[in-house]
Structure 1
Amino acid sequence: MSAQTEEAAVRPAAGDGKGGAPPPESPRGRPLPGVPYLLILPTAVLTVGVLGWTLVQNGLMSFQTLNPRQLIRHVTEWTGIDNYREQLTSSEFWHVAARSLVFTAVNVVLIMLLGCAIGLLLARLGSKLRLLLSAALVLAWAMPVVAATTVFQWLFDQRFGVVNYALDKLGWHSMHGYSWTSGQLSTFFVITVLIVWQSVPFVAVNLYAATTTIPRELYEAAALDGATAWRRFTSVTFPFLKPFFLATTFLEVIWIFKAFTQVFAVNEGGPDRLTETLPVYAFQEGMGSQHFGVGAAISILTIVMLLAMTAYYLRLVLKQEEDEL
């Protein structure tokens, strides 16, 4: 037997864990190429079919003069960008857009402040009280929008509302028979209370869930150093939950900016169209005035604004990831 044969005889077999080459991987251990894409294909096709086609049709409609006359005669009148030019040069459109931005900002600030406060409270409560408060939050969050709006309309009713009755009994006799939907600010107040009441549970429950991921040792170390509650929040809680705050705030901005049901159901954008936000404005111009092309153009402009907000959010996320590297 030659030296080379002897060396091969004493060499460890491949894959025996002693320095040999690893055994070939089993084909069953590796996913087939393209399987993940096949799994999400039905959902993607359904999404594109339901949302994408509707968006395309809405976009085509925005380039047309589409009124009852065109619908009756089955005539398509292409007008190019006239609908967009009309809105972008209209002071009314920009007033509604500014109103929508202010309305969104006020609601999001209130939702985040109250939601974070309740979420931190959940983290400090005992198990029984936490379960009770969580159940109440989930029930408020799960209530259908139309049902919740109907309840609030009854609460703030001019003649039979509980709010007016309670304020009158507390000494504010001028609130007896007060119409909450007769003025711009009072109508927005009712809508804001309704939206905040519906949105706070989402922030609170998610914040509490996020606080459970923070190591307790950090709080114990901060307490030993004599840190106050506010100092522990700014130095321990907030840095860990910064991605949560960023994502939740962005979601609330999108949800509030496109809110339609609450604004329309409370007073249909009144009085005198002074509480219309962009979604309600698009509906009133499209369905109310039967200028369907104009309404479609307003909705597309609203989507463009939402895309601009999304782009800004993604920029913040990418910057945060770069800072963490």
Structure 2
Amino acid sequence: MTVQTERPPSGPADVRKTAGAGEPGGPTPRAASRAGAFAPYLLLLPACAATVLLLGWPLLKDVLLSFQNLNMAQLIQHVTEWNGVDNYKDVLTGEDFWRVTLRSILFTAANVVLIMILGALVGLLLARLGRRMRVTLLVGLVLAWAMPVVAATTVYQWLFAQRFGVVNWVLDKLGWHSMADYSWTSSQLSTFFVVTVLIVWQSIPFVAINLYAATTTIPDELYEAAALDGAGAWQSFTTVTLPFLRPFLYATTFLEIIWVFKAFVQVFTINGGGPDRLTEILPVYAYIEGVGNQHYGMGAAIAVLTILILLVISAYYLRIVLKQENEEEAGL
């Protein structure tokens, strides 16, 4: 015996359910996919607008200012005096700019090398420590990293003060009595030494925490396999740890180059670029020429050239990194 079932008649609700994308009342699949394709760009729009407003507009104003003869007289009279590329000619034909540029590159290279070596060692130490010691060291690193730059610079001024400075007092107690009243800001090398210690101290936490986080992504099975193959501590580091850390080292080095190259606050606050302007780097040089000597167009031109030099250095470094990565992929 067969039982026949009747299909209930479709009502208005079923009609609404069957109204799909192909009917005039509903969205077409092409329109839906198009809306989905534009969604990421709409989400990025506020960030792009803020970037253009906060970075693009000041940069454009600085470029326009670099083509003007703007001194205190023009500011008082509210006069815009265009002088073409005269500011750039004066800067590029002078010896001071190239001397400061070379000094800035050497200063950046020395600091970045020290930061990466010491930061990498601290990061590897964090990976080897026990939980309590690791947390204690991490707290100390975060506190040093979170200290404002001006506050840290003021502390270092106290530490290296000629009279009543902690560093001179310790050196005197250790037997170097000639250092009791030594002025750390009286010469170029000693001033750069203080600034370098300050910048390295501020930058080590960033590198160490990044590399420690990178070590946590390395599978333990790789170390076990290396140990079974008879690899020692150094061989395990070069064959397992270093390949995993290499991308993080590249990225961190790139960020440190940018950060150290524009280290205005530390250099200017310690000694104002002195003595005799021998410790000026490009950001300090632009500020002194622009604001200190009231040659605002000249200072703007130096700032634009500083940005271009930093872009060239960054592009050259990225080219080296990409070339090494391509060679490693080809070797695999």
- Give the aligned partner of residue 165 of structure 1: 169
**How big is each residue's C-alpha offset from its partner over 1:292-317, in whole Å with a ceiling of 9 and x where there is no partner?**
00000000000001111232243245
**How big is each residue's C-alpha offset from its partner over 1:107-158, in whole Å with a ceiling of 9 and x where there is no partner?**
0000000000000000001111101001100000000001101110000011
- Give the aligned partner of residue 105 of structure 1: 109
- Give the aligned partner of residue 20 of structure 1: none
Q: Distance in 2 between matches of 1:69 and 1:38?
A: 46
- Give the aligned partner of residue 271 of structure 1: 275
- Give the aligned partner of residue 290 of structure 1: 294
- Give the aligned partner of residue 37 of structure 2: 33
One-letter amino acid of the counterpart of residue 264, structure 1: F
- Give the aligned partner of residue 319 of structure 1: 323
**How big is each residue's C-alpha offset from its partner over 1:7-31, in whole Å with a ceiling of 9 and x where there is no partner?**
xxxxxxxxxxxxxxxxxx9x99997
Q: Distance in 1 between matches of 2:197 and 2:318?
A: 30
Alpha-carbon distance change, 68 to 174 in structure 1, aligned in 2, over 3 angstroms = same
1:33 aligns to what SS in structure 2?
helix
Gaps of 5+ in 1: 1-24
Deviates more, 1:66-75 or 1:203-212: 66-75
- 244, 248, 253: which one aligns with 1:244: 248
Structure 2 residue 143 is the aligned partner of structure 1 residue 139: yes
Residue 101 of structure 1: how far off its partner (Å):
0.5
CA RMSD across the alignment? 2.0
Q: Distance in 2 between matches of 1:310 and 1:108?
A: 13
Q: Distance in 1 between matches of 2:80 and 2:36?
A: 49
- Give the aligned partner of residue 227 of structure 2: 223
**How big is each residue's C-alpha offset from its partner over 1:214-263, in whole Å with a ceiling of 9 and x where there is no partner?**
11122122223332322222221111111111111010000000110000
- Give the aligned partner of residue 76 of structure 1: 80
Q: Distance in 2 between matches of 1:192 and 1:118?
A: 18
Alignment of 1:300-311 (within 5 A): 300-311=304-315
Alignment of 1:248-263 (within 5 A): 248-263=252-267
**How big is each residue's C-alpha offset from its partner over 1:182-217, in whole Å with a ceiling of 9 and x where there is no partner?**
110000000000000000000000000001111112
Residue 65 of structure 1: how far off its partner (Å):
0.9
One-letter amino acid of the counterpart of residue 146, structure 2: A
Gaps of 5+ in 2: 1-28
Q: Give aligned pairs, total.
A: 302
TM superposition score normalised by structure 2: 0.87
Q: Distance in 2 between matches of 1:108 and 1:291?
A: 32
- Give the aligned partner of residue 185 of structure 2: 181
1:66 aligns to what SS in structure 2?
coil
Residue 76 of structure 1: how far off its partner (Å):
1.6
1:191 aligns to what SS in structure 2?
helix
TM superposition score normalised by structure 1: 0.89
Q: Distance in 2 between matches of 1:30 and 1:77?
A: 50
- Give the aligned partner of residue 94 of structure 1: 98
Q: Distance in 1 between matches of 2:73 and 2:273?
A: 27
